[in-house]
Structure 1
Amino acid sequence: MQKGEHALTTTTTRIFAAQIALAPAHVAATDATCESVWAALGAHRHLLVSGATDAATGTAGGVSLDLFGRLRAWCPRVCPLNEADGSRMPF
């Protein structure tokens, strides 16, 4: 990102609201459109897209495979970073 490039972070699992607050910009999956994603990337160069936040657990879900595909189509030259924590999952 030192050269002015963009990064788009997503997750397939849950993410804590405190982690979302650390992101330079955040768009909820329900609000993700080509326009909203590019507006956030234009302002901050690094964007987190996650599912809706659950107030009871303080976490947000991951994005769907469909949305991930749309994000890639909307932003073909943006570096995708997809956090997929499976550390407790068996192979």
Structure 2
Amino acid sequence: MSKYAPHKRSANQPKATSSTTCQKCLGKGHFTYECKGQRPYISRPSRTAQLENPRLAAKLKQTIEVPEEFTKPAGTANQILEAKEKERGEGKGRGG
């Protein structure tokens, strides 16, 4: 054993617990870089199947907070431009 490359675990490399799950083989008890198993094939539904089946589509929908300016279908660009023009008008009055 070399003094430059010790073969024992240090504090920086903890031992995997029994609940540690490998991301490669989905087995328990070892880290991904220690894995000697093969990657299992996991079948997933296609995008069409997800959209056609309401149970699968429910998993896709997430509650995402959308700003109010994007919820209205018409006039969004005009509202943004009006707000910017007001800001410009206020700026001219001060430093003019």
TM class, shorter-length: under 0.3
Q: TM-score, normalised by structure 2?
A: 0.16
- Higher-RCO chain (CA-CA 8 Å, sequence separation at least 6): 1
Whose Rg is larger? 2
- Between Structure 1 and Structure 2, which shows a larger proportion of helix residues? 2
Say which structure is richer in strand.
1
